[in-house]
Structure 1
Amino acid sequence: MTAAATRAPWKTAATLLARLIFAALFIMAAAFKFSNIEGTAAFIAAAGFPASLFLAWCAALFECLLILGFLTGAFFTETALLAAVYVLFLAFSFHGPGRWAGNQAEFGFFVDHFTFIAGLLFAAVHGPGRVLALRFGLIGRGDEEQTA
């Protein structure tokens, strides 16, 4: 019997649940952007970025691609790695050290991004799981998950 065949059912369920949580977080983020794209653009402009409306649309569309990757499992490793880089960018751009003096809560927001990044990196290493996962990828086949 292979290691994959002896995988505990709770591990399969937990992996699928994690994918759904990642997708849900980006669904909420994209929904907020699409529902108030001008407000998102103003937030981006306040952080000092040019072409804020264009960047707001790019962010919303990029988040839709991340959602697709997490829900399908296709290009999962790439999706998780790109999401981690994106979240790191967001942490420094919108909640970085320059904002801590004016609002101590910003430090908390900054740190929270790193727990999210840790989960994304873990997911990138272990893959999308066995259930409801398309096996497409450039870095790996998408089924690199480890059994513990």
Structure 2
Amino acid sequence: MVSVQSPWQTTAVLLARLIFAAVFLMAVAFKVMDMGATAGYIASAGFPFPLLLAWCAALLEAVLVICFLTGAFFTPAALVAGVYVIFLNFAFHGPSHWAGNQAEFGFFVDHFTFLAGLLFAAVHGPGNVLASRLGRG
């Protein structure tokens, strides 16, 4: 069953999808522009195989961009993105980082608002306009 959305709801859903896609597209772009710096940042957090992990992260983020733009596999993509965002949050902005830089606490909290948006999107789906039917049950 497809629910009918008002024009403002359709616009809001499309705008939200564009924002999600833009955030992950920027992340991919920064990684690709300097994969060595990304790998260095990953290594500084103590993770093994930093260059491999950097490329895996860029690939995941590129797939998320495609899912958010097309609406394909939207709910699983939003859930995966939420898990990814919270993992990154604790790994790179968690409590161990707060003492050295108080702004890290702000980054930490902000990631939870992003998670809230992703969870809301996962529940409500990609909307009825410009949304692929792939991955919908």
User: Structure 1-normalised TM-score?
Assistant: 0.90
3-state SS in 2 of match to 1:33: helix
The code of the aligned residue for 2:91 comes to S
Partner deviation per Cα, 1:85-122 (whole Å, 9 max, x = no partner): 00000000000000101110000011110000000000
Q: Which residue of 2 aligns with 1:72?
A: 70
For residues 75 and 2 of structure 2, the distance between their equivalents in structure 1, rounded to whole angstroms, comes to 21
Q: Which residue of 1 aligns with 2:52?
A: 54
Q: Which of 103, 106, 114 pairs up with 1:108?
A: 106
User: Kindly, what percent of the aligned residue pairs are identical?
Assistant: 67
Which runs of at least 4 in structure 1 moved beyond 2 Å after TM superposition? 2-5
CA shift at 1:9, angstroms?
0.6
Q: Which residue of 1 aligns with 2:3?
A: 4
Gaps of 5+ in 2: none
- Does the CA contact (< 8 Å) of 2:35 and 2:51 recur in 1? yes
The code of the aligned residue for 1:84 comes to G
The code of the aligned residue for 1:72 comes to T
Q: Which of 124, 127, 130 pairs up with 2:128?
A: 130
The code of the aligned residue for 1:74 comes to A
CA shift at 1:4, angstroms?
2.6
Gaps of 5+ in 1: 142-148
- Does the CA contact (< 8 Å) of 2:18 and 2:68 recur in 1? yes
For residues 112 and 38 of structure 1, the distance between their equivalents in structure 2, rounded to whole angstroms, comes to 26
Question: In structure 2, do the counterparts of structure 1 residues 131 and 100 end up closer, same or farther at CA, with 3 Å as the change threshold?
Answer: same
> What is the aligned-residue RMSD (CA, Å)?
1.2
CA shift at 1:3, angstroms?
7.9
